[in-house]
Amino acid sequence: MRERRGDTTSIEVKRASGGVPQLGETLCAFANMPAGGTIILGINEQGGAFTVTGTDDEAALEAGITSQARLSVSPSPQLTSQTVTVEGKRVLLVHVAPLPITERPARFGGSAYLRQSDGAYRMQDHELRMLEVARLHTEEQVSYDLTPAIGLTVEDLDPGLVRSYLATARERDRRLRERTDEEILRRTSVITAQGEPTLAGLYALGDYPQGRYPGLTVTAAVQLRGGEGQPRTRNLQDFTGPLPVLLDDLLGWALTNLDTITGYRADGHMDTVTELPMNAVRELLANALVHRDLGPNTLGMGKGVQVRLTPRALFIQSPGGLRGVALDQLESEEHAQAAVNQRLYQMAKKLRTADGASIIEGEGGGIREVFRSTADRGLPRPQLIDTGVQFKALLWRPERDVMVGPVQFPLPSAQRTEDLATRIVDEVPAPFQTRNGEQVWAVLKKAGPLSFRELQERTALSPAQLRWALREPLLDGIVTMEGGQGDRTTRYRLTPPDVRGPRDGV
């Protein structure tokens, strides 16, 4: 807390020097949180110092807080108290147990509260309706991802993604190998028996799913420190398209806006990487896209996934909380796996991004990989927050500009050295005039057409770096993609000047 200079979603600190503090809203909010929360008395948080002041009469404080919970919060949560010694002074810990989902929400003064950041806030109407739906989920399964997109057909799906999906489905499931395309789409819930795309099918494979469901739009922005009269955000961007395109584009946005840091490779040479491990960023983005709530109280109200890069962290927020797994299970070493949207989850396992990687692996160990990769970089442990109505993941940014000590970075391939030494010095088109674009231009000009993997090997770029370097050239028609997105046989080549689009200018 001293490092954060404030309370957290699950911890409230009070000095309690003047007796029992008023804690009605806090008790109510913790009771409505999936994991409850803890109140610490005997610490002064003023100025972010969190000075240990201690308590004089723990019994009186415990009795007073218990009385507040019983008389002012309904239903009343269970409290567990403990006195510990910190820096030679007694401190009282009061843990507020979460109410069972069937008894939520707890109310204080007629209003229901939830915890957000370092304080309690009054729950909004749509959040209360989401709790009602969560209670319903304990009694019967509600499958929102099976909702039919009435009036749409398979013609509204992206042909390239559909071809790739069908090929992977046949490759991985022998019971589907002899089925027709329509049978596979129907049996895997991409379309209904009437031939209409399901919500999951449209989201995963649709040409423009946001036309029917605007809430599937993802918004990303860099938040600035700016004071009054100064800009608060930059690079604000809305992302649309099916699931693989969203993930590709969001990774490109993150790669562009994250800072880079310098460290030592295993061979003693310096190298530069993004300040956050991109495999951790990818995992958390994919989880947010696939496991977001798709019910009428979120998607139906236009609530989408939000990505923000603040001076302190990259945070990814998705509508809806965890289902079928607790936060401590997700963060533990055990194999914790539960899909909020079961059909969408299975589709995502069969879909690939432009680099040929699956959207999700489906092994349930992705969060452990996030923790491992950030620990390897010496970064603070990522924070996962589940309020029951939204889920937030925070990747903390490093405080130093240059990393010290040995860090294992990928060694550049011999091919990259050769390409850099023999780089084509022709005039590079504007869309390629980026940090990595010139290198991709030179490789394609010399050796194209090439697959995504071949391009990656020859440039030694990460998948996210290569995707972003290709983005504008593809949009401008300077590069042609021969094949479908996610198809391993797809090749990229420079488009002849006489057939390029009007934006090229070359």
By residue range, what is the domain housing residue 430? Answer: 414-499
The verdict on whether omega for the bond into residue 449 sits within 30 degrees of 0, i.e. cis, is: yes
Tell me the two tokens of residue 389.
């109505």
Specify the CATH number for the domain of residue 22: 3.30.950.30
361 and 242 in a common domain: yes
Judgement on whether residues 176 and 316 belong to the same structural domain of the protein:
no
Q: How many Å apart are CA 299 and CA 34, to the nearest integer? A: 22
**This model's pTM is above 0.85:** no
Strands 306-309 and 270-274: unpaired
Residue 389 resides in a domain? yes
Answer whether residue 253 is part of any domain.
yes
- Single out the residue of 352, 362, 299 nearest to residue 145, CA to CA: 299
Residue 136 inside a domain? The answer is: no
Looking at the fold, whether 472 and 381 belong to one and the same domain comes out as no
Are 59 and 20 found together in one domain? yes
Total Cβ atoms within 10 A of residue 21: 17
Strands 233-239 and 390-396: unpaired
* Residue 130 within any structural domain of the chain: no
Residues 6+ apart with CB under 8 A from 282: 247, 251, 464
Integer angstrom CA distances of residue 121 from 4, 9, 106, 108, 127: 20, 11, 13, 11, 12
Of 59, 94, 123, the one marking the end of a domain is: 123
pLDDT number for residue 410? 43
Nearest one of 323, 376, 18, 311 to 145, comparing CA atoms = 323
Query: Element (H or E) spanning 377, and its range?
Result: none
Tens of pLDDT, residue by residue over 400-429, are 544 444 444 443 333 333 343 333 334 556
What is the tally of structural domains in the chain? 4
User: Per the structure block, which two tokens stand in for 287?
Assistant: 């989880």
Domain CATH number, residue 232: 3.30.565.60
399 and 261 in a common domain: yes
- Three-state SS at 415: helix
Place of tokens 């915890």: 115
State the amino acid at position 342 in one-letter form.
Q
Domain check: are 463 and 488 in the same one?
yes
**Are 439 and 470 contained in the same domain?**
yes
Residues 331 and 294 in one domain: yes
pLDDT of residue 378: 87
Partners of 92 in beta bridges = 41, 83
Regarding whether 304 and 397 lie in a shared domain, the answer is yes
Candidates 305, 319, 290, 294; CA nearest to 145 is 294
Instruction: Tell me the two tokens of residue 116.
Output: 């957000």
Give residue for tokens 């995504």. Answer: 452
- Widest distance between CA atoms in the chain: 85
Say if 133 falls within a structural domain.
no
| Exposed / middle / buried, residue 132 (Cβ in 10 Å: 0-12, 13-18, 19+) | exposed
- DSSP class per residue in 200-262: HHHHHHBS-GGGT-GGG-EEEEEEP---TTS--EEEEEEE-SSHHHHHHHHHHHHHHHS-EEE
Sign of CA dihedral 64, 42, 117, 316: negative
Single out the residue in 123, 157, 177 at which a domain terminates.
123
161: CB partners within 8 A, 6+ apart: 204, 205, 242, 244, 351, 484, 485, 486
Per-residue pLDDT of the chain (506 residues; tens, 9 = 90+): 555 555 578 888 998 888 899 999 999 999 999 889 999 999 987 766 788 988 888 899 999 999 999 999 999 999 999 999 988 899 999 999 998 888 889 999 999 999 876 688 898 888 888 787 777 665 555 688 999 999 999 999 999 999 999 999 999 999 999 999 999 999 999 999 999 999 999 999 999 999 999 999 999 999 987 655 666 788 899 999 999 999 999 999 999 999 987 766 666 666 778 899 999 999 999 999 999 999 888 898 889 999 999 999 999 999 988 776 667 666 666 555 667 899 999 999 999 887 778 898 766 678 888 999 999 888 999 999 888 888 999 999 987 544 444 444 443 333 333 343 333 334 556 666 665 777 788 888 877 788 888 888 787 777 777 887 887 788 777 888 887 666 667 888 888 765 555 443 33
329 in the same domain as 266: yes
Is 472 a domain residue? yes
Q: How far apart are CA 33 and CA 98, in angstroms?
A: 6
> Last residue of a domain, which of 163, 188, 211?
211
In sequence order, which residues have a C-beta less than 8 Å from that of residue 93 and are 6 or more positions away?
38, 39, 40, 41, 81, 82, 83, 84
Interatomic CA distance for residues 359 and 286, integer angstroms: 7
Answer yes or no: is 6 within a domain.
no
Residue 308 and residue 366 in one domain: yes
CATH code of residue 426: 1.10.10.10
Q: Based on the fold, state whether residues 308 and 226 are members of the same structural domain.
A: yes
Q: Look up residue 154 and give its two tokens.
A: 């398979």
Q: Are 362 and 240 in contact (CB under 8 A)?
A: no
Q: Hey, is 272 helix, strand or coil?
A: strand
Cα distance between residue 420 and residue 415, in whole Å: 9
Per-residue pLDDT at 404: 44
Confirm whether 3 is domain-assigned: no
